[in-house]
Structure 1
């Protein structure tokens, strides 16, 4: 059965054909005539509870012209090649070997058209995926870890732990920020995977005077405030801080200009260098919101760094706008770099 739906804007009419025979006509004078700016699904839609087609689809065609009943009837039993005049798109699903697996591509028969990809289906159990290992800051001091290959649902063989002078290797992680550890005994591969080496800086005492002191902030209103605004957000921050080893939760702001919306021009930039959970430095950076990627907001947490050492530490955080990286230095040593920090 070939179902054809033709929208004729010249007469504000929607016509439905079955195998070339006109079955229904509907007035669509109240319908809009704008362009389609969303993806199309076949057999379902983007609704939160999609209405699945209780059947099969063998072919889908779309034309740029208003097809007549005669033209529809002529092509009802024909297979298009993609070169027919007025044919905008066509996809052939006939003779498809089932089951259909995720990521299978059905090409548009029209040259330069839009291909259709299978999503939501089960993964092909025979698909081979690559597992790569990113050594991070230790990349220049170690031989590359050989990549592995495994089928979907397979396990990864744990490599020999890499080494880096002045750092402790904390394991392999699922994310570049090293917050989600990979369990080699239970985590299974679901696609091409990159595992990231986690590193913790082995703190070495800096050459600060033994009797060095600083300013404490004990009360909720205790703060030091600049007498004037900066003309722009700096690209590098440095601070010498001392935090107790027993510090629990978030350690607080080192330097910051955040204000509640009622007191602040929300379109202006602000920045906050703070001590996040587990003693990790965090740079929360917000450029002018308008026309900025990600709303102009970037939050970078150096999860492999712990400032809770009970002694003075020199902390430096730099942002490189050309490389879109944010780097963290402890006592002059580069301990972590986060990539893809675009503002």
Structure 2
């Protein structure tokens, strides 16, 4: 091969490398993979038709983080699908809701609301034998999987503990109202797998403030790094706040598909857990600013189902029932 040919190959390599970087790094990129590729399965062209099977009790979907190695992304998505299936089949939740009010004209705040909910679930499943029914990879290298939940069984005294998977989720909401209004929330998801499985645990944290989100995702002790707030699956629409639409909760897809999916699942659970509860104390003194405490404590076991799911305006909408 002569020098001229080598130079041509080198230039082609640099051009391809530059184009790849532009695809991954451009914050203004409007990604059409979940529209054009999904349109092969779905008439409306928004997402694959099989994603609607998330509303079936027989199936669950899981989604990996963006820009991961394909094999690791597949395993992460599968474990997340199993976790959602476990929560749908059987969960126990504990919640504490505190409302503080002030009868004084304070400078910054007149009321404070704090809600903390912990959700637990566990099941028996042979992860190595669990089959993936369908899969799809987006242009953000997110892997979507569909798994059959028939082989995910509830725990019993006769179950072999070697195939036990455990899930824990925490949700916190804090709001201060008055002349200075503040809001803060976070969601956390822990997945602990059987000891013989290569991936021992998955952790996912999403800290939400008025200025945006901070996301931490880990496989075992290794943190998964990916850009945040740039993901565009559909053209921008003016509405960009969480709201109800026909009884559905929604979340922005800007922070990845899994972030929105987990957000709407857990916040739908949070709404369902607010149905009951007992007032445990009234009239306690919180500090010099807040008093008249109303505390609601609740503990229940339940299961739920996803009754509707759709993508619109780069937002994910979901409705659940129990």
TM superposition score normalised by structure 1: 0.22
More helix by share: 2
More strand by share: 2
TM superposition score normalised by structure 2: 0.23
Which has the larger Rg?
1
